[in-house]
């Protein structure tokens, strides 16, 4: 259970294939069972962006393990007045056992991880959202009883955190991944190359501007908002660019008949996904949201080396 003891999770690529499978196995056990940390531990949440699921699921996960949570609102701490991250990290390290951070710049996470001995978890950055992808993979596993060989299509903003972590996560899981997004919104080439290096030709990794080709016969249709947190001023201008990538019933007709629909949430109904698809029989979004709690419980237990 303590396979990740003392480590950080800043990127999906921080896990090996075996570690990913062990975490998902533990999450599945935790969904129907219970473990307690041997010693009282404290999780800190330092969130520079809004959050419902991540904040509450991490809190509930820690409580279920018998631990405690400190919600460190940046606006009432000295970080909002410019105290350097390197200093903040060394101080928080003395008070907490584990720290989850939601921030803009991935480099802030790396600085925290460099200066704090305790495990640091990426609870979303502009670059990646690994905790969400762990829950997504648990949901795919529950739906298809396997991950290997399943094809997932992410449709929408291919340049955002979800697209990047899904590329890496699917490559680790042995799943084929297609990213269907407008030409100016495709994933970072460095992430695509990293995913290909992880996959070793075991899986197909495709980036296409064609939404229909992307969705054709796929088994998992995944979407996310067209403008992420911090990009609110671009939301209006992006609508016409992304409209052809809306997950609606017409697009779903091209997917496999047994395909499931995932969305990390929060969703903008009528933009990236229609109400009918979100509420339809193929949607697994509520199970997906629930799995955040189980998989993060497994992650905390593993990073803390709980026996």
Question: Using CB under 6 A as the criterion, which residues of the chain lie in contact with ligand NVA when the complex forms?
Answer: 124, 160-162, 224-225, 228-229, 264
- Of residues 37 and 235, the one with the C-beta less far from ligand CP: 235
Least spacing, CB of residue 69 vs ligand CP, in Å? 15
- List the single partner that 52 binds among ligand NVA, ligand CP, none, CB under 5 to 8 Å by kind: ligand CP
Exactly one of 8, 43, 45, 51 binds ligand CP (CB under 6 A); that residue is 51
Sheet with 205-208: strands ordered across: 205-208, 176-180, 151-155, 220-223, 260-263
Instruction: Supply 142's token pair.
Output: 């529950």
Exactly one of 26, 167, 220, 264 binds ligand CP (CB under 6 A); that residue is 264
- Of residues 88 and 160, the one with the C-beta less far from ligand NVA: 160
**Inter-helix orientation angle 53-64/285-303, to 10°:** 50
Q: What is the dihedral of CA 120, 134, 289, 165, to 10 degrees?
A: 80
Does residue 7 have an active-site annotation? no
- List the single partner that 162 binds among ligand NVA, ligand CP, none, CB under 5 to 8 Å by kind: ligand NVA
Exactly one of 16, 52, 73, 243 binds ligand CP (CB under 6 A); that residue is 52
Q: Is 92 in the site for ligand CP (CB under 6 A)?
A: no
Among the listed ranges 47-55, 91-99, 209-217, 237-245, the one in contact with ligand CP (CB under 6 A) is 47-55
Phi, psi of 237, rounded to the nearest 5 degrees: -70, -20
Does residue 18 have an active-site annotation? no
Which of 204, 195, 206, 215 minimizes the C-alpha distance to 155? 215
Least spacing, CB of residue 230 vs ligand NVA, in Å? 7
- Of residues 228 and 246, the one with the C-beta less far from ligand CP: 228
Q: CB neighbours (10 Å) of residue 107?
A: 12
Least spacing, CB of residue 15 vs ligand NVA, in Å? 20
Among the listed ranges 5-13, 50-58, 77-85, 230-238, the one in contact with ligand CP (CB under 6 A) is 50-58
Least spacing, CB of residue 182 vs ligand CP, in Å? 22
Exactly one of 1, 37, 235, 265 binds ligand CP (CB under 6 A); that residue is 265
Instruction: Supply 113's token pair.
Output: 């991880």
Does residue 264 have an active-site annotation? yes
Exactly one of 132, 139, 161, 283 binds ligand CP (CB under 6 A); that residue is 132
Does residue 94 have an active-site annotation? no
Q: CB neighbours (10 Å) of residue 38?
A: 11
Write out the catalytic residue numbers. 102, 129, 132, 224, 264, 292
Binding site for ligand CP (CB under 6 A): 51-54, 124, 132, 264-266
């Amino acid at each position: 259970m303590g396979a990740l003891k003392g480590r950080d999770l800043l990127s999906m690529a921080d896990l090996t294939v075996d570690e990913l499978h062990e975490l998902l196995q533990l999450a599945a056990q935790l969904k129907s069972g219970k473990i307690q940390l041997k010693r009282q531990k404290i999780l800190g949440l330092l969130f520079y962006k809004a959050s419902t699921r991540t904040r509450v699921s991490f809190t509930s996960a820690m409580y279920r393990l018998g631990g405690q949570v400190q919600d460190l609102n940046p606006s009432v701490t000295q970080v909002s007045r410019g105290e350097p991250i390197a200093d903040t990290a060394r101080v928080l390290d003395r008070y907490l056992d584990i720290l989850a951070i939601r921030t803009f710049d991935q480099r802030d996470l790396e600085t925290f991880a460099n200066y704090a001995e305790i495990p640091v978890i990426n609870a979303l950055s502009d670059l990646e959202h690994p905790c969400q992808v762990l829950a997504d993979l648990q949901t795919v596993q529950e739906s298809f009883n396997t991950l290997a060989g399943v094809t997932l299509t992410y449709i929408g903003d291919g340049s955002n955190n979800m697209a990047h972590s899904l590329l890496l996560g699917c490559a680790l899981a042995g799943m084929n991944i297609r990213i269907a997004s407008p030409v100016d919104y495709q994933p970072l080439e460095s992430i695509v190359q990293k995913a290909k290096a992880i996959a070793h030709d075991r899986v197909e990794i495709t980036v296409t501007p064609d939404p229909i080709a992307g969705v054709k016969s796929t088994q998992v249709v995944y979407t996310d908002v067209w403008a992420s947190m911090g990009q609110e001023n671009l939301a209006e201008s992006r609508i016409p660019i992304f409209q052809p990538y809306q997950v609606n019933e017409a697009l779903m007709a091209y997917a496999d008949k047994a395909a499931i629909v995932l969305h990390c949430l929060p969703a903008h109904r009528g933009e990236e996904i229609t109400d009918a698809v979100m509420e339809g029989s193929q949607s697994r979004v509520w199970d997906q949201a629930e799995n955040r709690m189980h998989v993060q419980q497994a992650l905390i237990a593993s990073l803390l080396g709980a026996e």
